Amino acid sequence: MEKLAIQGGNPVRVKPFQNWPVWDEREEQALINVLHSGIWGVSAEEGLIDCFEREYALVHQAKYGRCVFNGTAALEVSLRAINIDYGDEVIVPAYTFMATATACLMVGAIPVFVDIDPNTYNLDPDKVEAAISPRTRAIIPVHIGGNPADMDRMTEIAKKYHLWVIEDACQAHGAAWKGQRVGAIGDLGCFSFQSSKNINAGEGGIILTDNEELAELCWSILNCGRVREGEWYQHEVLGGNFRMTGWQAAILLAQLTRFDELARRREENGLYLAECLAQVDGFQPLTRDPRVTQHGYHLFICRYDSSAFNGLPRHAFMEALQAEGIPCSEGYVPLYRMKAIQDGTRRLKRFLTGKESTEPYPDCPVTEKACYSEGIWFAQTILLGTRSDVDDIVSAVMKIMRNICS
Ligand SMILES: *Cc1c(COP(=O)(O)O)cnc(C)c1O
């Protein structure tokens, strides 16, 4: 049998996967143009930021786009736009990047953590309903890894209980649910253009919506509380300066010109990898709902079952896989276990009730399992190559399995 690379054998793969970011003279020229134009930020005349807002909204079938400096800011501005008040509750998945929850705390709302579906790692709709209280004002479904959450159920629950839906689509550029791109399926949708994301300007974010009133509020909140028809020093809404720069917009417009091509490649290779892994008992990709018509593939997430690998713990399997030349990671920790979130929640509750709160962790067994023994992430860049690059991933997993189980 071939010796595992971690035991000194030859690795399945020595070539690196696709570098990130992908760029060429389009980005280079766009930056030079901004430099020479002298318009480096938001301007009175139509500029690149307005142009990107329009283009990105169009790509996502939304009426309005509002650029901000990052995805975290997009979430905060969105929460302010729906007029979240101190002590309001917002339902968020326990399995996501911390910003989904910290954005709530930063505007004085309490994130209520709800467990995920074991097949998709997205918010479990049944558990969402059980977590609703009289203080609940909004739900933030996260399209984890670019795989759209069940937006039918989210919309239905929101309607029934009169809640807002803010989609955290920071990982879901291009993703679609029943033919509709994510972002404006809920009331507001937030995207990130941070370095790792599938459209990248180093930093950046956008809010999408079909609701004109919310779009205007977002404009005000991110523009220091100004109103469009008002005077420069007339501030009507509590807001801040959340604006994007012209440099970011220029890069994003260039990135957008190759987005379809990259998204198509991720989709093709993602489907192919899922098909290959369907044969591998104990290493299953997350389920793609048949209503998902396009997957964002920011991450390709698999569920590792150590019992199919003779009890080999996840960390040991990952070390062996990395040694074979396949980069992977274990992903998140449950958000309610994070000190920052615990401290922020405790402080807010102390202010609201005058008492120290000592609440136990929410009951999220699926999140615990995903974080501590099951979830394995592959970055989107592994899907940007050829089929034979994808084959290497499958070969490496099979090689480990043969060695461990023989
Ligand atoms: C990246 C990300 C964010 C935050 O975006 P930034 O641009 O890094 O501030 C929020 N939520 C999720 C799910 C993310 O992946």
Going by alpha carbons, the residue nearest to atom 2 of ligand 1 is: 170
Between CA 255 and CA 1 the distance in angstroms is: 45
Tokens read off for 15 = 């070539």
Residues 265/49, Cβ–Cβ less than 8 Å: no
Q: Which of 76, 123, 170, when mutated, tests ligand 1's pocket best, judged by the most ligand atoms within 8 Å of its CB?
A: 170
CA of 274 to the centre of ligand 1 (A): 25
Going by alpha carbons, the residue nearest to atom 14 of ligand 1 is: 170
Neighbours of 241 (CB within 10 A): 13
What pLDDT does 406 receive?
A: 81
The atom number, within ligand 1, closest to the CA of 204 reads 7
The atom number, within ligand 1, closest to the CA of 70 reads 7
Buried b (16+ CB within 10 A) or exposed e, 168-177: bbbbbbbbbb
Q: Which of 97, 166, 252, when mutated, tests ligand 1's pocket best, judged by the most ligand atoms within 8 Å of its CB?
A: 97
What pLDDT does 67 receive?
A: 98
Amino acid at position 217, single letter? L
Residues 188/78, Cβ–Cβ less than 8 Å: yes
How is residue 189 annotated by DSSP?
E
Domains with residue ranges and CATH for the chain? 25-258 (3.40.640.10)
CA of 396 to the centre of ligand 1 (A): 30
Tokens read off for 254 = 């260039």
Which residues, 6 or more positions from 213, have their beta carbon under 8 angstroms from its beta carbon? none
Residues 149/123, Cβ–Cβ less than 8 Å: yes
CA-CA distances (angstroms) from residue 380 to 75, 107, 146, 385? 23, 32, 10, 10
The atom number, within ligand 1, closest to the CA of 75 reads 10
CA of 223 to the centre of ligand 1 (A): 21
State pTM to two decimals. 0.97
CA of 72 to the centre of ligand 1 (A): 6
Q: Which of 70, 72, 76, 203, when mutated, tests ligand 1's pocket best, judged by the most ligand atoms within 8 Å of its CB?
A: 72
Please state at what angle helix 246-257 crosses helix 48-59, rounded to 10 degrees. Answer: 40
- Name which of 209, 213, 198, 255 is nearest 74 in CA terms: 209
Tokens read off for 220 = 């005000």
Tokens read off for 105 = 């705390």
3-state SS string for 70-95:
CHHHHHHHHHHHCCCCCCCEEEEECC
What pLDDT does 359 receive?
A: 79
Neighbours of 402 (CB within 10 A): 12
pLDDT by residue, tens only, the chain of 406 residues:
899 999 999 999 999 999 999 999 999 999 999 999 999 998 888 899 999 999 999 999 999 999 999 999 999 999 999 999 999 999 999 999 999 999 999 999 999 999 999 999 999 999 999 999 999 999 999 999 999 999 999 999 999 999 999 999 999 999 999 999 999 999 999 999 999 999 999 999 999 999 999 999 999 999 999 999 999 999 999 999 999 999 999 999 999 999 999 999 999 999 999 999 998 999 999 999 999 999 999 999 999 999 999 999 999 999 999 999 999 999 999 999 999 999 999 999 999 999 998 778 999 999 999 999 999 999 999 999 999 999 999 999 999 999 999 8
Amino acid at position 19, single letter? N
How is residue 307 annotated by DSSP?
G
Q: What is the dihedral of CA 320, 171, 286, 130, to 10 degrees?
A: 130
How is residue 2 annotated by DSSP?
P
CA of 2 to the centre of ligand 1 (A): 41
CA of 248 to the centre of ligand 1 (A): 16
What pLDDT does 317 receive?
A: 98
CA of 99 to the centre of ligand 1 (A): 6
What pLDDT does 312 receive?
A: 97
How deeply is 200 buried, as exposed, middle or buried, from its count of CB atoms within 10 A (0-12, 13-18, 19+)? buried
Q: What is the dihedral of CA 274, 276, 281, 287, to 10 degrees?
A: 10
CA of 97 to the centre of ligand 1 (A): 6
Q: Which of 166, 168, 335, when mutated, tests ligand 1's pocket best, judged by the most ligand atoms within 8 Å of its CB?
A: 168
Ligand 1 pocket by Cβ (under 6 Å):
70-72, 96-97, 99-100, 142, 168, 170-171, 192, 194, 205
CA of 7 to the centre of ligand 1 (A): 37
Q: Omega of the bond prior to 290 within 30 degrees of 0, cis?
A: no
How is residue 55 annotated by DSSP?
H
